[in-house]
Amino acid sequence: METLWFILVALMLAAYVILDGFDLGAGAIHLFVARSNLERRAILRAVGPVWDGNEVWLLAAGGTLYFAFPLLYASSFSGFYLPLIMVLWLLMMRGIGIEFRNHVEGALWAQFYDVMFSVSSLLLAVFFGAALGNVIRGVPLNAEGYFFEPLWTNFRVDRNPGILDWYTVLTGVVALVVLAAHGACYIALKTEGELSVRARGLARRLWWGVAGLTVVSLIATLAVRPAMLDNYRNYAAGAVFPLAVFASLALMAYYLSRERDKAAFVSSSVYIGCMLAGAAFGLYPYVLPATTEPAYSLTVHNTKAAAHGLSVGIVWWILGMVLALGYFTFLYRLFRGKVKVSAEGHGY
């Protein structure tokens, strides 16, 4: 049962990264790809109806983590207290940047909120990537299952690392480039004219960064945590994940070159999902490895909730997912197609 809940949490996190990832990416490139107030409003209109709904998956994943693996939730939320507070502030800043622009008139205020939206989106992408890097690399857990990490130490990967070191900075950069390309594909799909052409061109250029960083991050991950290969050696079916990663990456390049924006966006989504699935497959059964003593590591087995709770919870989880999927199907169908923006006003 704990393995099933591990898969469900991983699926919800992947859904969050794919869905909220494109509006994070759109925000990160917002100031670079849009050349006028009208184009910036078009980007905001493309993400405006869905960005807050996309964040539901992050809340759902956090709630499921608390329910299914309470020790992991307690350990990670206490050890990562400082970066979590920083992420919370960035999430609030991004929401303010999107929504307040729609209610406050004035070119200066519009530019202020554009910068807030773009900078907070960019930093969130980096922080989420660094968070994944911390999980893969491991943290200095003690015998009670708790830890403390400073924001940085000497930037080396050792027994007592900081939240930021060379590896987690690398994973943060990977996340930023991947989500920026993902967001560019989405903007190319949802907008028209020069903005769409410019976003597609940016996605093509970013693709080279995604491809190169995919290889670099794979080499770095195996250097930092060689045990990630254990499950791949033991279960041949795991080969589907790296194969799907490189296949979707190749398809993304092909569709971008053919200006098939929807197919390119789907390929980018598959790439992100397979990258995260491959990381989860390599980590299992660990959910938070220890850099101090391997025996201190948190796994799905020593952090799980009671068996009865996990069994009953699956019923309520299914009901909740049916409602969530129904809502998202309705939302995305309602706002399908290209966005249209009038020449007047500052909001989206």
pLDDT of residue 149: 86
**Is 143 among the domain residues?**
yes
Q: Which domain holds residue 259?
A: 2-334
The pTM (predicted TM-score) of the whole model is 0.93
The DSSP call for residue 63 is H
State percent of the chain over pLDDT 90. 66
pLDDT of residue 292: 87
Under 8 Å CB-to-CB from 321, ≥6 apart: which residues? none
Question: On the CB side of 97, how many CA atoms lie within 13 Å of its CA?
Answer: 29
Minimal CA–CA distance to 291: which of 79, 17, 44?
79
Residues 300-312, mean pLDDT to the nearest whole number: 90
Under 8 Å CB-to-CB from 16, ≥6 apart: which residues? 54, 55, 57, 58, 61
Q: Is the pLDDT of residue 93 over 60?
A: yes
pLDDT 10s digits, 133-185? 999 999 999 988 888 888 888 888 888 888 999 999 999 999 999 999 999 99
**Is 346 among the domain residues?**
no
Minimal CA–CA distance to 8: which of 64, 90, 86?
64
The SS3 call for residue 72 is helix
**Is 226 among the domain residues?**
yes
**Is 17 among the domain residues?**
yes
**Is 145 among the domain residues?**
yes
**Is 343 among the domain residues?**
no
- Would you place residue 119 in the very low, low, confident or very high pLDDT band (cuts 50, 70, 90)? very high
Q: Is the pLDDT of residue 348 over 80?
A: no
**Is 54 among the domain residues?**
yes
- Would you place residue 347 in the very low, low, confident or very high pLDDT band (cuts 50, 70, 90)? low
pLDDT 10s digits, 205-251? 999 999 999 999 999 999 999 999 999 999 999 999 999 999 999 99
Number of structural domains in the chain: 1
**Is 345 among the domain residues?**
no
Query: How far is residue 16's CA from residue 270's CA, in Å, rounded to a whole number?
Result: 13
Instruction: Give yes or no for a contact between 270 and 120, defined as CB atoms under 8 angstroms apart.
Output: no
